[in-house]
Amino acid sequence: MSLWESPSEVATALERAGYLADPKIAQVVYLADRLEKPILAEGPAGVGKTALAVAIATAGGRRLVRLQCYEGLDEAKALYEWNYHKQLLRIQADEGRAWDTLEGDIFTRDFLLTRPLLEAISSDDPVVLLIDEVDRVEMETEALLLEVLDAFQITIPELGTMEARSRPIVVLTSNNTRELSEALKRRCLFLHITYPTAERERDILLARVPGLPERLATRIAEVVRSLRELPVRKAPSVSESIDWARTLLALGIEDVDAGVTADTINVLLKYQTDIDKALVTLGAPPG
């Protein structure tokens, strides 16, 4: 059951959800829906990887289930966990019953705490599953995901295999802090998201910052693009250029020149060395 008929329909739907997708992104999202394969979105921080998943959910009218990855994430936090306390209460309440019947009782779905992955699989309505910053989990934990991503099923020893009632659209994001395993990458459609072109960034600014004059948006997009060319430690992200646009709008500034940029540059750049470098290029005295 597919959501969309063509990539351009995907783009329109995403745009209505507040996300301006370029043709590449639209095509990959369309493929993910058609081929029922997860998307692995990789790219620098702040280019809208997570926002893409949120937008897909909104555009497709689906619920978003989010699994935030972190170091030390394990089965109990990602898949499911038995509710020990409830099981214990059950055993105490039923004291004296034969073990065989009791065992059958306490290992049922009533005693299962669902975690994001199981929740996504067992949901009656199709969902969008976002596995955020998958590069943060250890290599070994990655393997947990494979069964879900491959066959959309989860095996619970006591209950057997639970198949997905509906196919979720899965989006994984990675900030590229480490190489993901081949096994994981092979199962995904790889989407490398980079900084948008100046034209697209202008459109994003116009869509996200109400009341922004088009001329100013064009200018902001160009300046930000130029700053990204510098060898800085942390290039300004799309979300930072949106912040900058809001700042300039709030300050009532209509034209961006070197002076204005120098005064407000700390919205865009977060390291002192980067700021100094940018100021030198702008011809302003550092500090």
CB of 185 to another protein, least distance (A): 4
> How many residues appear in the chain?
287
CB of 280 to another protein, least distance (A): 10
List residues binding another protein (CB under 8 A). Answer: 6-7, 23-24, 27-28, 30-31, 34-35, 37, 40, 42-43, 138-139, 176-179, 182, 185-186, 188-192, 222-223, 225-226, 229, 231, 233, 256-258, 261, 271, 273, 277, 281-284
From first CA to last CA, the distance across the chain in angstroms is: 58
Enumerate long-range contacts of 8-15, CB under 8 Å, 24 or more apart. Answer: 10/59, 13/59, 13/60, 14/52, 14/55, 14/56, 14/59, 15/207
CB of 27 to another protein, least distance (A): 4
Phi and psi angles of residue 49, each rounded to the nearest 5 degrees, phi first: -70, -50
**Closer to another protein by Cβ: residue 4 or 80:** 4
User: Cβ contacts of residue 97 below 8 Å, gap of 6+?
Assistant: none
CB of 226 to another protein, least distance (A): 6
CB of 158 to another protein, least distance (A): 23
CB of 260 to another protein, least distance (A): 9
**Closer to another protein by Cβ: residue 120 or 188:** 188
**Closer to another protein by Cβ: residue 27 or 237:** 27
**Closer to another protein by Cβ: residue 119 or 133:** 133
**Closer to another protein by Cβ: residue 102 or 189:** 189
**Closer to another protein by Cβ: residue 118 or 191:** 191
- Give the 3-state DSSP-derived string for the chain, with helices as H, strands as E and coil as C: CCCCCCHHHHHHHHHHCCCCCCHHHHHHHHHHHHHCCCEEEECCCCCCHHHHHHHHHHHHCCEEEEEECCCCCCHHHHCEEECHHHHHHHHHHCCCCCHHHHHHHHCCHHHEEECHHHHHHHCCCCEEEEEECHHHCCHHHHHHHHHHHHHCEEEECCCEEEECCCCCEEEEEECCCCCCCHHHHHCCEEEECCCCCHHHHHHHHHHHCCCCCHHHHHHHHHHHHHHHHCCCCCCCCHHHHHHHHHHHHHHCCCCCCHHHHHHHHHHCCCCHHHHHHHHHHHCCCCC
CB of 48 to another protein, least distance (A): 16
**Closer to another protein by Cβ: residue 102 or 256:** 256
**Closer to another protein by Cβ: residue 35 or 250:** 35
CB of 3 to another protein, least distance (A): 13
